[in-house]
Amino acid sequence: MELVGTSGREHAATPLEAYIEGFEAELVRLGFTPFSARGQLSLMRHLSRWLQSKGLLVEDLTVEVIELFLRDRRASHAVLFSHRALRPLLKWLAASGAIAVEVALPRQVQDPPELVRFEEYLRVERRLKEISVQAQVSRARRFLNDYTPSGGLRELGAADVVRALLDEGEGRKPVSVKKFGYVLRSFLRFCFLVGELDRDLTGATLVVRLPQPSLLPVGVGPGQIQALLDACDRNTLVGKRDYAMIILLARLGLRAGEVAGLRLEDIDWHHGEFMVRGKGSKDERLPLSEEVGAAMADYLLNARPAVPGLQACWSAAFRSAPAAPFPG
């Protein structure tokens, strides 16, 4: 039987083919951005093709089968290769009655003590954001699961570290290998300093050098910024919001995440300043100029939705917006 998918091209039906349209609607309901939804649908199609290649059906999905799929996906893909990435699809399939509920339950991972301590170090000592902590822990966990000798971490040698990096380079982009090497170097240094390793193995981590552009990024000019501001229809609610955000980005040089993270309690109207919550949990106060203050006040008084907070109103506007540097 032949089916026509969302791309409009005919192809042989695979086990999950009949579920694509429903899952796409579920992603929209959950608030996934178009970019994230495409990634989830690509992951679903990969799983469907993999099941077909193994002669399996949807109802054959078990915890063990999922493990085998993820192992194969890690060997060929640099993103969306974890249980967490599959969770939206598995939860929806379970709710639809296509698979057993226990297959969609979060996987209970018993991390070794050294990885638990490393995670705490990243979160408490280095004060990294949670998404960065989980990304680094995931890579360190993969290294420990695949390359730790049978006798434990203390038997780890330089040859194991080099082999891990060389294996990582098979079928993966250089930027992925570089991130893996960075995490591995950080983890090995941590293990040595806290006594989990009796020798420093960071020297065995190969340095991956990526070609750098010859020119620095060029920011938009004053004329382009003014064109952006002029394009905001300040007679509309969205126009007032966009104007206020662009003013903050352009006049104060804030990052998109810093603007999206602003809260009502961060603004001190009496003293004409506000709190900026920067990267690495570093907070600082900046002056609130008359132009910026007027734009923010216009939005807050005349356009902000009736919700308890400012952060929720602005953060959604940056979820799918491309990054563009403003001149300093």
pLDDT digits (tens, 9 = 90+) for 153-164: 889 999 999 999
Which tokens is 295 given? 């734009």
Query: According to the model, what pLDDT value does residue 323 have?
Result: 45
Does residue 129 have a pLDDT over 60? yes
CATH of the domain spanning 113-204: 1.10.150
Instruction: Say how far apart CA 228 and CA 86 lie, in whole Å.
Output: 39
Mean pLDDT for the chain overall: 82
Instruction: Say how far apart CA 295 and CA 131 lie, in whole Å.
Output: 32
Percent of the chain topping pLDDT 90: 27
Does residue 2 have a pLDDT over 60? no
Query: According to the model, what pLDDT value does residue 16 have?
Result: 93
Instruction: Say how far apart CA 54 and CA 20 lie, in whole Å.
Output: 20
Does residue 127 have a pLDDT over 80? yes
Looking at per-residue confidence, does 54 or 170 come out higher? 54
Instruction: Say how far apart CA 160 and CA 181 lie, in whole Å.
Output: 13
Tell me the longest C-alpha to C-alpha distance in the chain.
70
> Model confidence at 109, in pLDDT bands (50, 70, 90)?
low
Query: According to the model, what pLDDT value does residue 324 have?
Result: 45
Give the pLDDT mean for 12-24: 88
C-alpha neighbours within 13 Å on the C-beta side of residue 245: 27
Query: According to the model, what pLDDT value does residue 311 have?
Result: 52
Query: According to the model, what pLDDT value does residue 12 have?
Result: 55
Q: Which CATH class is domain 2-104?
A: mainly alpha
Does residue 282 have a pLDDT over 80? no
> Model confidence at 212, in pLDDT bands (50, 70, 90)?
low
Q: What is the DSSP string of 65-129?
A: HHHHHHHHHHTT-SSS-SHHHHHHHHHHHHHTTSS-HHHHSPP-----HHHHHHHHIIIIIS---
CATH fold match for the domains 2-104 and 113-204: yes
Q: Domain limits of the chain?
A: 2-104, 113-204, 222-318
Instruction: Say how far apart CA 310 and CA 300 lie, in whole Å.
Output: 8
> Model confidence at 252, in pLDDT bands (50, 70, 90)?
confident
Does residue 325 have a pLDDT over 70? no
**Residues linked to residue 273 through DSSP beta bridges, in sequence order:** 268, 287
Q: Looking at the chain, how many residues does it have?
A: 328
The pTM of the full predicted model, rounded to 2 decimals, is 0.48
Which of 120-124, 180-184, 226-230, 315-319 has the lowest average pLDDT? 315-319
Q: Would you call 285 helix, strand, or coil by DSSP?
A: strand
Query: According to the model, what pLDDT value does residue 130 have?
Result: 81
C-alpha neighbours within 13 Å on the C-beta side of residue 233: 4
Give the pLDDT mean for 60-75: 87
For residue range 24-67, list pLDDT tens digits in order.
999 999 888 888 899 999 999 999 999 999 999 998 898 889 98
Pick the CATH number of 222-318 from 3.40.50.1360, 3.40.640.10, 3.30.540.10, 1.10.443.10: 1.10.443.10
> Model confidence at 213, in pLDDT bands (50, 70, 90)?
low
- Beta strands at 273-277 and 267-268: parallel, antiparallel or unpaired: antiparallel
